[in-house]
Amino acid sequence: MSETWTVLSLLNWAAPYLEKHNSTSPRLDAELLLAKVLDCRRLDLYLRFDKPLAQTELQNFKELILGRRQGVPVAYLLGRKEFWSLEFIVNDAVLVPRPETEHLVEAALEFIKKNLPTGGPVLDIGTGCGNIILALAHSLAELTDFSGMGLDVRPQALKIARENARNLQIDTVTWHTSDLFQALNPETDKFDLIVSNPPYITSDDMQTLPPEVRCEPAAALHGGPDGLYFYRQISAQARTFLNPNGALIFEVGDGQAAAVKKILASNGYSAISTKYDLARCERVVIGRFLR
Ligand code: GLN
């Protein structure tokens, strides 16, 4: 890259380059990455189209573009991802929060507003960067009895989750390294709501993941041979930790809702319902533990 590159000429080079290398949003990717290098907002680039770039800026941009070319998700390159209109730190120790997971947050809020007007203890299993439980804590900040707990089997993930809690100034959530419920005490750890977006990709599909997804931790993606391992485990074990009339709310993969509803029913949950995402896929499955 020569010294005469400007913001505009660089974007006009980078966008088609990324398009050729399989980015589905090449211009946006290029703009976000250049805004990171220049430490400005994406829209500010439009006010600086003629600005020439320094050598170090060019070098930094080139490294990001090469990472993107290799399929590294933009969120990892930026080190952050927006979810529920909040900014989350992410790195390759955690799954990148997906927009469809906001439907799980919505379903959880709906359950709490209807059934727990002053809040209650909520558990998030496989919390990753903490996006789900922190979105809930943020939305429920007014409720006097809300408390959250985020569990993850990987301490590297919890490190990010804790950092996110600090950044968002949320102190109503505690974090524990735990393989599913293993670190909890069934006598004293009780919840009104348990939520989870567990790993749900089948062993076969793990072999053909797109490059972007392959950058994400396999432990956060792989749900066993049929993708349903964690739904079975969590449904069976959650009963010990749910308060009477509590609920278990899952995000599920495409086409998994029917199987997950069956798993919930066979574990004694009732009033089982689902919610659709914007692509009209059944994305969220809710079961009540009515006693
Ligand atoms: N709870 C996080 C999310 O929904 C991480 C989920 C996971 O690692 N499977 O984005």
Q: What is the mean pLDDT of each run of 10 residues along the chain (291 residues)?
A: 82 96 93 97 94 95 96 97 98 97 98 96 98 98 97 98 98 98 97 98 97 95 98 98 97 98 98 96 97 82
Adjacent-strand bridge partners of 149: 123, 174
What is the reported pLDDT for 22?
Answer: 81
| Shared domain check, 265 and 221 | yes
What is the reported pLDDT for 3?
Answer: 58
What is the reported pLDDT for 291?
Answer: 82
What is the distance of C-alpha 145 from the center of its chain?
A: 25
d(CA 171, CA 278): 32
| Shared domain check, 136 and 251 | yes
| CA distances in angstroms from 242 to 121, 185, 283, listed in the order given | 10, 12, 22
Report whether residue 194 contacts ligand 1, using a CB cutoff of 6 Å: no
Does residue 21 lie in a domain region?
yes
CATH of the domain at 102: 3.40.50.150
d(CA 65, CA 72): 9
What is the reported pLDDT for 4?
Answer: 87
CB atoms near residue 206 (< 10 Å): 16
d(CA 241, CA 39): 46
Q: Reduced to 3 DSSP states, what percent helix, strand and coil does the chain have, rounded to the nearest 5?
A: 40, 20, 35
| Shared domain check, 203 and 106 | yes
Pair of tokens at residue 71: 């399929």
| Closest Cα to atom 5 of ligand 1 | 128
Report whether residue 127 contacts ligand 1, using a CB cutoff of 6 Å: yes
| Shared domain check, 251 and 111 | yes
Does residue 103 lie in a domain region?
yes
What is the reported pLDDT for 55?
Answer: 94
| Closest Cα to atom 7 of ligand 1 | 220
Report whether residue 95 contacts ligand 1, using a CB cutoff of 6 Å: yes
Phi, psi dihedral angles at 210 (to 5 degrees): -65, 155
CA of 251 to the centre of ligand 1 (A): 9
Tokens 């319902």 belong to: 273
| Closest Cα to atom 8 of ligand 1 | 220
Give the DSSP H or E segment for 261.
helix 257-266
CA of 230 to the centre of ligand 1 (A): 13
| Sign of the CA dihedral with 287 first, then 217, 254, and 227 last | negative
**How many domains does the structure of the chain reveal?**
2
Structural domain harbouring 40: 7-70
pTM recorded for the entire structure? 0.94
